[in-house]
Amino acid sequence: MIRTSRLVLRCWRPEDAPAFYAMNQDPRVIEFLPGPMSMEQVEAFVTAQQALFARTRACYFALETEGQLAGFVGLKRHDADSLLPFAPCADIGWRLAPAYWGKGLAGEAARACLAYGFDELELDEIVSFTVPENLRSRAVMEKLGMVEDTGGGFAHPALPLEHRLSRHVLYRLRR
């Protein structure tokens, strides 16, 4: 568990599923994501994060504020056999319910995750990526001091090349 002044970052629990499902139906949340998540996908996500944490000591942590699930912020490690062109790597990612946007919560949680990644996991670099149009997410990256790798733009390997969300920008931060 990681604590900041306003937040708790912790492993996922099965009881988180309904709140995470609800936020993943909101058009504002999924504007730059492939679509809404079904309850089956949410349950698989929760199980996958639990397994990732057990295996790598990193995952997209459940983010709690005032006892409520606000979304996730966390780290994901990608092995050399990942299809990401810059793997092996560790990425930092975030997704909050809109009620929690614009309060600096993503940045606050992300700073704690960067410290965890660099100090506890001894990562040399943490990357982040999103579609070019996701200016809120890019603003968080830039506030964290991450720098765009202007030669590092890539087509996301999980999506067809012609998909509207295929093209991604890449940001990097060294330890």
Ligand X SMILES: CC(C)(COP(=O)(O)OP(=O)(O)OC[C@H]1O[C@@H](n2cnc3c(N)ncnc32)[C@H](O)[C@@H]1OP(=O)(O)O)[C@@H](O)C(=O)NCCC(=O)NCCS
List interacting residues with ligand X (CB under 6 A): 29, 32, 93-96, 100-107, 130, 134-137, 139-140, 143
Q: Which is nearer to ligand X, 53 or 60 (CB)?
A: 60
Least distance to ligand X, CB of residue 64, Å:
14
3-state secondary structure of 42: helix
- SS3 percent helix, strand, coil of the chain, rounded to 5, is 30, 25, 40
Phi and psi dihedrals of 163, rounded to 5?
Answer: -65, 145
Q: Compute CA distances 101 → 62, 70, 77, 147, 171, whole Å.
A: 16, 9, 26, 22, 21
Give the nearest distance from C-beta 135 to ligand X in angstroms: 3
Provide the minimum distance between the beta carbon of 28 and ligand X in the complex, in angstroms, as a whole number. Answer: 7
CB of 10 to ligand X, least distance (A): 18
| Continuous H helices in 7-120 | 17-23, 39-56, 105-115
| CB nearer ligand X, residue 62 or residue 140 | 140
Q: How far apart are the first and last CA of the chain?
A: 22
Pick the closer one to ligand X by CB: 75 or 122: 75
Least gap, CB of 31 to ligand X (angstroms): 7
CB closer to ligand X out of 52 and 105:
105
Question: CA 76 to CA 139: how far, in whole Å?
Answer: 20
Which residue's CB is nearer to ligand X, number 54 or number 99?
A: 99
